[in-house]
A and B are shown apart, each in its own frame.
Chain A
């Protein structure tokens, strides 16, 4: 198999050349406002398209969730991954994103989610696997500055001595690269275990499952308000790469609303893999 069997931990700081690649662009920051889960999925597609078309500069977006969601990876089976009855009972919307990777439970105020929309040339020459750690280097540095012993666990995990913090997912689509991450701020492991089906096979090469899947949310690790952590991460990004305040344009929102109607809000898309 092509995938390595040992997973080196990545803590190393980026090189000046790697930092310079980020600084080629005038990064724009979007924070909020809150949107519901299908709209979040749609905004990711719209903003990826806009960056690919050159209609918006490479962008960093921090999300605000207005409602809880199970977010499925692009290639996951709806029934295999989600306890649909329980999700419905809890009032959780199930949506499918355009990137691969695993299902997550996201609740307002309990996760930190961000997207990076950039150009393929930004990660040119890097393997897919290497580009994950590269695009999240600033976050690892930011978490470490908060006193968390955090590192990157290839392919796509942000982890720490206390346990897993979050995961990244990417898609190369529409002439751009979408890289988004959700980190646990104050999640309920109980609820995650109830709503998501996590089979034994998935845990098979990770030793003791309960320990391997141990999540160490940021609230527990920092005792800081969520907004303070986000502000800190934004400051780290700005200091390293430059970052200008931006806003979602009305026509971007309108395009996303249309995509909710035709794609992300439809059963055909959510059950694309049944």
Chain B
């Protein structure tokens, strides 16, 4: 099961675990010691990565996908959509 981690400098750790099915991410779990409001936004972040093609190499594109899935009032403390994207790519490194 692919597993990627990235720690934002001065911030917190983001961990991404998932399965691969037909070249796409599935059963995605995003976890870490970050702070996030509202708490349900954790599901939206994971949902944003479901079905992502494993061939997607562009961290900005992955980050944009995460950002788009977040509610407008979401607060990410100690991490960012970019940090999530980097953790995803690290799972393939």
Residues on A close to B: CB < 8 A? 1-7, 73-77, 80, 98-103, 128-129, 154-156, 169-173, 199, 201-202, 204-205, 273-274
Q: A3-B11, A6-B10, A7-B10 are in contact. Are A170 and B35 (CB under 8 A)?
A: yes
5 A-B pairs (CB sep. < 8 Å): A1-B9, A5-B10, A154-B10, A170-B35, A202-B7
Tell me the complex Cα distance, A204–B11, Å: 11
Tally inter-chain residue pairs, CB-CB below 8 A. 90
Give chain B nearest CB distance to A225 CB in angstroms.
31
Query: Among residues 1 to 31 in chain B, which have CB atoms less than 8 Å away from a CB atom of chain A?
Result: 5-13, 15, 17, 29-31
Cβ-defined contact, A201 with B34, below 8 A: no
Q: Which residues of A contact B31 (CB under 8 A)?
A: 75-77, 80, 273
Cβ-defined contact, A202 with B35, below 8 A: no
- Size bracket of the B interface: 20 to 34
Cβ-defined contact, B33 with A204, below 8 A: no
Cβ-defined contact, B6 with A201, below 8 A: yes
Not counting A80-B17, A129-B77, A155-B78, a sample of 19 additional A-B residue pairs whose C-beta atoms are within 8 angstroms of each other reads A1-B11, A2-B80, A6-B10, A7-B10, A77-B31, A80-B31, A100-B34, A100-B36, A128-B75, A154-B10, A155-B11, A155-B12, A155-B77, A172-B37, A199-B13, A201-B13, A202-B13, A202-B33, A273-B42
Q: Which residues of A contact B12 (CB under 8 A)?
A: 102, 155
Residues on B close to A: CB < 8 A? 5-13, 15, 17, 29-37, 39, 42, 75-80, 82-83
Tell me the complex Cα distance, A202–B32, Å: 10
Cβ-defined contact, B9 with A5, below 8 A: yes
Return the chain B residue nearest A273 by Cβ. Answer: B31
Q: Which residues of A contact B75 (CB under 8 A)?
A: 128
Cβ-defined contact, B8 with A1, below 8 A: yes
